[in-house]
Structure 1
């Protein structure tokens, strides 16, 4: 049985361990612990303060242990959650409540991020991740804890990817990687695919384009449903474009187009978002005339689009306007983008605006630079 990590007690997170813990049978639990750790009954007895005969009797069901103090000591020594042995423990009850409500915290943080409130998402997820990691450091590695921690780490990384400037985006990828490390050990294609696509996208934003394409290609390959595939394809198309891989970009976009009529549209997978991805990919793969021809054909959103997507699209369109020598249109578009990026606290998009305006629109670049410095000051404070 491959451990989930090098932590000595992560065996409690395996599927088999969950079945053992759910039995509530101390004898079964002790036998499982001995087998995983390669201990004989004498060695386990020494760990718990019992002789071999007593351990054997418990494992065979010939002796029962009802003393709460002894059960608490066994839980502490074996890093067992007290409720597994029927013990009422305030700290354990508080932890279980945290896990229950933690799932809601992750969901609400994702809603906040997609609605343009990534800073609030970070504020909600930091304390949850800290508490779960403290639980881990104490040796309590139940499956539900790890599952939630993986999702919380990923959510934190993605939210940070919205609020951090480009030079610090490696931090966002660091957190999504930590989430992926956990997800890979759960035999759940949906979970693993989710972790791969979130990490892949943060790698792209951090400039690690080849690694991003690799992770996102894995996410597409693992996708168990059309919906999961649709969630990964736009991100893979964007990464392929950033890698200047025209054939891969075209293939992925064609596949995404084929799914548009078969799956429900989301904040990422919809004609509006795919239009922006197509425009940027055409530029990045050296097909500027095609991007200029396409820019006027922006589709009407078919679903609620995340506010940051509006800023992303504005910057991309302004870039194409500059390539078409439409300085007036580019100026107006980028000024609107600066206002929205500032209101939504999106430093990465302000940096995109600065690069886009750098050579031909110095006044717009200066305005974006001032807005970025104000955001930096707020983050430093």
Structure 2
């Protein structure tokens, strides 16, 4: 009896140890992503063999002199097709608001994300969240220390976890009528190589930035958000050490991006081309090294004063590199001359049609097969 009891106890301890080890092992794993999400990553890595996808921020939500019209898009009005990529912003979801910082209901944003998925296109998300330390917006950089405050041990850590839980709930509820989750390329903490956001270069250390990214990913994994890919998107402040200084680690990043605009109007053309060449050449090599797709995650020329910008400036530089997609910023309905895609009658509209007809540019109707 004593021997049997000893064996039973030993077996129980072994099972307990194995269970504890399995729990520790599982705790170190990221969430198992949906098949569609994994397929999207696979296809982002190889789509450059066909061409690059064109994207537009907030494309179906509003445009020049319109807002909320069903099925409308400035891009579609010009070329007859939707962008292959649509990006949206979830700023103010952290506050529990019903509308985003751009005064669009999150219900409407969710609907348009699902519509884009159903037509075979890709959805990307940025997050211009408020400053948790000051209560200001993303651009409130007068008071440093916001990142420190939301990391473990900080005065706003618990508040920030609540914010992460709210965005996690949105992603988990992003489903089609038959319950299929919509894959999303999430682009948190973008343009951090500049200092215009409270998470930017002069507002936190490289280690703090990495901790912020890792905390974000681990919390969303903990909440079983299994439909996200993650994009790392610095600005154009530099290549090499500048680009990689705050890189959170291969296990946290799925795509290498860059946000780079043509500033200075027509006069800024040469510098824009030179900068893109420098950034995309570096990203091409780094993407090969790390097995990550690359993308021009934000770009554009405000108000498009150049009638041939699409085919003579953007296309010639992008087509040289294995870029998965190029996304231009929004067409604001509330600000004059703040638009980055053409609309009917705009000076670059005819050139955009030529850009659309180029076999290397991919739009919604180009049989993208992103999720198979």
Which structure dedicates a bigger proportion of its chain to helix? 1
Which structure dedicates a bigger proportion of its chain to strand? 2
Identify whether the pair has TM-score above 0.5, normalized to the shorter chain: no
TM-score scaled to structure 2, two decimals? 0.29
TM-score scaled to structure 1, two decimals? 0.28
